[in-house]
Copies of this chain bind each other. A is one copy, B any other.
Amino acid sequence: MENKAVIVLANGFEEIEAIVAIDLVRRAKIELVTLGLGGREVVGAHDVPLRADQAFTEFRGGFEALILPGGKPGTRNLGESAELREWIRQAFGQGKLCAAICSAPTVLAKAGILKGRRATCHPSSQDLLEGALYLEEPVVRDGNLITSRGVGTAIPFALEVVRYLKGDELSAHLAKDILLSSP
Contact = CB atoms under 8 A, between A and B. Distances in A.
- Work out how many copies of this chain go into the complex: 2
A48 B46 contact: no
A180 interface: yes
Interface residues of A, number: 36
A152 B149 contact: no
A157 to B, nearest CB: 10
A117 B2 CA distance: 49
Interface in A134-183: 138, 149-153, 155-156, 159, 175, 178-183
Nearest to A123: B179
A16 interface: yes
Contacts of A20: 16, 19-20
